[in-house]
Amino acid sequence: MRTIGSEYGATTGRPRRCGWYDAALVKYSRMINGMERVAITKLDVLSSFDEIKVCVGYELNGKSISNFPTDVNKLTRVIPIYESLPGWKKSLSEISNYNNLPAEAKDYLQFIAHQSRFEISMIGVGPKRNQTIEL
């Protein structure tokens, strides 16, 4: 994921931390920051995966919790709970209209929007400015 998305610091070249989408974290962030709409960038990076995981909650002390733990002592002990969605295995770089996205990509976007409770306003399907789909 890091290599495909070129997730390295522009100045230092230091590898950035990457991972699956954490819907529980984003839902909490949306709540405390008042976000209603978001831009989903680098959707194209996920095009090579057979399955795509989304963190929908956490396990803490053997029990499932759906809210983001704000206590750092709890946060260091949680285990993410993932739901897997099918990948689309198709390049998105030439797509300029939401309706032309593969069904699996649209399902993924709808899933994360529902889980995180926000509306998606833009989708990045490549690194260039003209590779942005506005909704």
Domain ranges of the chain: 21-50+87-134
CA distance 29 to 112: 14
Place of tokens 């704000």: 70
Domain 21-50+87-134 part of CATH 3.40.50.300: no
pLDDT computed for residue 15 by the predictor: 76
pTM for the predicted model, two decimal places: 0.87
Q: With bands split at pLDDT 50, 70 and 90, how would you rate the model's confidence at 16?
A: low
Work out whether strand 51-60 and strand 21-22 pair parallel, antiparallel, or are unpaired.
Answer: parallel
Q: What is the mean pLDDT of the chain?
A: 90
CA distance 53 to 31: 22
pLDDT computed for residue 6 by the predictor: 55
pLDDT computed for residue 5 by the predictor: 60
Predicted confidence (pLDDT) per residue in 42-93, tens digit: 899 999 899 999 999 999 999 999 788 999 999 999 999 999 999 999 999 9
Work out whether strand 132-134 and strand 63-65 pair parallel, antiparallel, or are unpaired.
Answer: unpaired
Q: With bands split at pLDDT 50, 70 and 90, how would you rate the model's confidence at 12?
A: confident
